[in-house]
Amino acid sequence: MNRVYNFSAGPAVLPEEVLQEAASEMMDYQGSGMSVMEMSHRSKVYDKIIKEAEADLRELMQIPDNYRVLFLQGGASLQFAMIPMNLMKNRVADYIVTGQWAKKAAQEAAMYGKVNVVASSADKTFSYIPDCSDLPISEDADYVYICENNTIYGTKFKTLPNTKGKTLVADVSSCFLSEPVDVSKYGVIYGGVQKNIGPAGMVIVIIREDLITEDVLPGTPTMMRYKIHDDAASLYNTPPCYNIYICGKVFKWLKKQGGLEAMKKINEKKAAILYDYLDSSKLFRGTVEPASRSLMNVPFVTGNEELDAKFVKEAAAAGFVNLKGHRTVGGMRASIYNAMPIEGVSALVEFMKAFEKENL
């Protein structure tokens, strides 16, 4: 077996312990005589898996009792439509556009109502988070929307926007469970799990219970109503069973690491190793304003496209894979999610130093 250091933005690295455990349970899950992939989602065995996953997530994030946890399909992108369909009672929402994912969400919402872009960082290729302390929040806005960590551009909100009392909705796909959050500040927190938690195709939605109503936009499909999924405890139809099982294992792994406070410390340490080097390097530089830097996604460039390509190629040959930047921005990006060990980041920096010496 030859595992690489995988810096993919998503689907992304998972904890080796989790993969090994899943492998050992593949043919016979805990004496059931079958794989989790083969069992009924209504069976007793599976009921324990999904209930434990929710309980562990609640414990990790200290989710208050008046919030529901939904395990749904369609990835993060389906939420771009589900959110307006379920929450746009006045057909007005305010969006803060700090990158491509927020932009896509705003475009989707505009199919259902009036979308006001109340702040944006498009003027500087999304390399910073705008000041959101006093925005022109719309009087009749149903919610204010952010993408909390911008996977492509490598920025993160360090303080949440002042929504002036409006419901905050946040896409946390690429910072999910990377540090503690105060769930009570949000109306909806959601994220596709393939960045920091599990296999692609699933989204976790944490939603305050008063936002779950039957009053949705006309024509909202049954499968896109939060109420349907909440009433059925995420078992309205067959859920993404195996994904939920893997996510549950990752929750247990996170608890074993010491929970989200501990993860935050580790993630800060890992990110500092890379950013400190980028700040001192004469060849590489980070592309994000320091105050807005993400702990999870670190974009960087040499300033020379040919050299960037050479770096990506030589890094891959040395076992550091998926370092090519997003196709829309170029350069490099190292995604250093929870499951990336600190040794992986240190080894990458050593490799970058050697590359700098040879190519400067």
Ligand X SMILES: *Cc1c(COP(=O)(O)O)cnc(C)c1O
Show the binding pattern over residues 57-76: x = contacts ligand X (CB under 6 A), - = does not: ------------------xx
Decide: is 77 part of the binding site for ligand X (CB under 6 A): yes
Decide: is 121 part of the binding site for ligand X (CB under 6 A): no
In the beta sheet, which residues pair with residue 6?
321
Instruction: Tell me the window of 52-60, 65-73, 168-176, 228-236 that interacts with ligand X (CB under 6 A).
Output: 168-176
Decide: is 173 part of the binding site for ligand X (CB under 6 A): yes
Q: Considering the complex, state which of residue 85 and residue 283 has its C-beta at the smaller distance from ligand X.
A: 85
Cβ pair 336, 298 in contact under 8 A: yes
**Exactly one of 5, 6, 7, 10 binds ligand X (CB under 6 A); which one?**
10
Cβ pair 8, 322 in contact under 8 A: yes
Total residues at interface with ligand X (CB under 6 A): 12
12: its two tokens: 């992304």
**Exactly one of 86, 121, 127, 151 binds ligand X (CB under 6 A); which one?**
151
195 noted as active-site residue = yes
Minimal distance, residue 10 CB to ligand X, in Å: 5
Cβ pair 212, 81 in contact under 8 A: no
Q: Considering the complex, state which of residue 147 and residue 352 has its C-beta at the smaller distance from ligand X.
A: 147
Beta pairing class for 332-335 and 297-301: antiparallel
Nearest residue to ligand X, scored by beta-carbon proximity: 75
Cβ pair 345, 5 in contact under 8 A: no
Instruction: Tell me the window of 36-44, 167-175, 177-185, 243-251 that interacts with ligand X (CB under 6 A).
Output: 167-175
Residues 6+ apart with CB under 8 A from 287: 127, 153, 154, 299, 300, 301, 329, 331
101 noted as active-site residue = yes
SS3 call for 82:
helix
Cβ pair 136, 313 in contact under 8 A: no
Enumerate binding residues for ligand X (CB under 6 A).
10, 75-77, 101, 147, 151, 171, 173-174, 192, 195
